[in-house]
Amino acid sequence: MSLYRTELRRLAKRRFTRYMSLLGLLVLAAVVVGVFFTNQKIDASQLARAERQADQQYQEQVRWSEQERVNCEQAKAAGTPNDGRYPDDCSMITAPPRESIQAEWFLPSTFNFRQTFDETLIPFAAILALVGFVVGASFVGAEWSTGGMMNLLLWRPKRLTVLLTKLAALLTGILAVTLPAAVLWFAGFWAIATFRGSTEKMTSGAWQSFALTGLRGVALVLVVTAIGFALASLGRHTAMALGGVVAVMVVGQFGLGILLSMASVRFAEAWLLPTYVAAWMQKKITLQDWNSCNNATYYGECKPDTLDITWQQSSVLLSVGLVVILGAALWAMRRRDIS
């Protein structure tokens, strides 16, 4: 009998796998339903009303700036201490240009597929990655804790072959859930955009970009699943993987973030793992150092220093992490006693 098919059946028949997969899919469905009911299609009357509100806002800004300019000139003529409230030249106090106040600010929430869909792929990948991590950790962790791994090795004594076959079956199962879920995710948000938003300006380039982002999301799910599997195998218990994640996120991320913030380290987010995960999904994350604006005046324009984190850099980090953790699990499987 094929070991691979046996492991696939074992994975599919585990109640924990079914319940976790179902829970993940229900959460995704809840997100789609929530987005559907919190958005609406914009008609001409709503656009006209938003334009009127934008005009009113602009007129209020004009009146405020005129009043502030008069107050500034009066304070300057009276010799009142400025205290940084007004600029040296009162003529600098002007209303913002009309085009800076956009009618879109006054419109109800609507789902524009071209502008918004790529943002929805981040929670999609995050939810399924969490499911894959927990399922992967429990799949091999239960084998170790119940003695099933020892019994299996009596039948198939090739340790690395057994472990890698389990991993291949696990990734196949997760992929079998992720790909249909991705198709339904695309279809669900296309329906939302059709009935509660807009599907305009969708070009072949936009579809290609969404497809590539979706593929990166699927790859992230598989990588996180493999890491959960490897951690549980390395510690020979599911708790090893779950405890490792808690330690990394609480101690290594929150604690490190607080420490870097207290030390006023430039671009502190560049040392945190979530930044690279976000850059992997969004292709690029631009970090800003607002401390570089300390010398800017209240009325001046601040252009903070920036640092770009790209998906290529994130791919290197994810690949190295996967190779190190999975390599350690394979090494431990080969070198340690099975007992």
Give the residue among 172, 161, 162, 159 at the shortest CA–CA distance from 132.
172
The answer to whether 319 and 224 have CB atoms below 8 angstroms apart is no
Q: Which residues of the chain have pLDDT under 70?
A: 1, 81-84, 145-157, 237, 239-241, 246-252, 290-302, 336-339
**Interatomic CA distance for residues 339 and 144, integer angstroms:** 9
Contacts of 26-33 with C-beta under 8 Å, sequence gap 24+, read: 27/127, 28/124, 28/127, 28/128, 28/181, 28/185, 31/120, 31/123, 32/185, 32/188, 32/189, 32/192
Letter string b/e over residues 191-204, b meaning 16 or more CB atoms within 10 A of that residue's CB: ebbeebbbbeeeee
Q: How many CA atoms are closer than 13 Å to the CA of 4, on its beta-carbon side?
A: 8
Bridge partners of 198?
112
The answer to whether 330 and 160 have CB atoms below 8 angstroms apart is yes
- pTM value? 0.81
Helix (H, G, I), strand (E, B) or coil at 111: strand
Looking at residue 298, its pLDDT comes to: 45
Bridge partners of 194?
none
**Interatomic CA distance for residues 114 and 202, integer angstroms:** 6
Per residue in 57-80, pLDDT (tens digit) is 888 888 888 888 888 887 777 777
The single-letter code of the amino acid at 288 is Q
Q: What share of the chain is helix, strand, coil (3-state, %, to 5)?
A: 75, 5, 20
Helix (H, G, I), strand (E, B) or coil at 183: helix
The answer to whether 16 and 85 have CB atoms below 8 angstroms apart is no
147: which residues sit within 8 A by CB, 6+ positions away?
none
Looking at residue 248, its pLDDT comes to: 67
Indicate if the alpha-carbon torsion angle 73, 74, 80, 83 is positive or negative. Answer: negative
The answer to whether 120 and 185 have CB atoms below 8 angstroms apart is yes
